[in-house]
Amino acid sequence: MTGLVKQLGLIGKVLSHSFSKSYFNQKFDTLGITGYRYDLFELESIDEFFPLLAAHPQLVGLNVTIPYKQQVMPFLEEISDEAGKIGAVNVIKIEHGKLSGYNSDYYGFKASLLSWLPAGWQGKALILGTGGASLAVINVLKDCNIPFQLVSRQSGPDRVTYEEAEELDLVSSHQLIINSTPLGMQPNILTAPALNYQKIGQNHFLYDLVYNPETTQFMRLGSNQGARVKNGLEMLELQAEKSWEIWTGR
């Protein structure tokens, strides 16, 4: 690979609003990092993963986003303990043909959440959504000893529906509410999880993993009730830097 540009990239299904390419290419420009480029690779299905690698032999690392964080795992030869525990991969390192999977979402979310919540904060959390994005959130809350309840469109042994959450008045008793769904993301900016936002007050913290738009409908509805709100941009920046560390060791 000597003399060739090393390629990094992001795989997902719809990437038109991704921040990753602009973030990394700006990082390269700002810090004067040469020999790398970052590209977006939209895959219609995970079956296109190996053909992508064959077509781009200069790839040394990939980020993974919706809906492939779990689907890509069987394609990898090695998975870090943390990614295995979480059950999702969002970073792939390609070295001498070997594919290794990691999870930097955990690091990004944990650092962002703990720097935002008041020191010594105690309470319970609602996690909205049970897809791949929720897995790192679940593990962070477990490790931080924050009790939580999953809320999903469909009921299950470990989750309640939005209707059941309303019947149980869970919004009132859970002061941290984390949206791990894509609701509110560009271009569907007027959508939001189906909560009773009238039950939200000044003691609530609403964290949205969505970062585009900067203020989502979920955040706006909570802020209108006096809640403190945060989007997912800082988490993304932190996980991106962790990805760079995994790929390059620096």
DSSP 8-state symbol, 45: S
Question: Each residue of 119-132: pLDDT tens digit?
Answer: 999 999 999 999 88
Q: How far apart are CA 151 and CA 128, in angstroms?
A: 5
pLDDT one-digit tens code per residue, 187-224: 899 999 999 999 999 999 999 999 999 999 999 999 99
Task: Name the residues annotated as catalytic.
Answer: 69
Question: Coil, strand or helix: which one is 143?
Answer: helix
Which residues sit opposite 241 in a β-bridge? Answer: none
The DSSP bridge partners found for residue 63 are 10, 91
pTM for the full predicted model = 0.91
Beta strands in 80-152 (DSSP E): 91-95, 98-102, 125-128, 148-152
pLDDT in tens, 132-181: 889 999 999 999 999 999 999 998 999 999 999 999 999 999 999 999 99
Ordered by where they begin, the domains of the chain are 6-103 (3.40.50.10860), 106-234 (3.40.50.720)
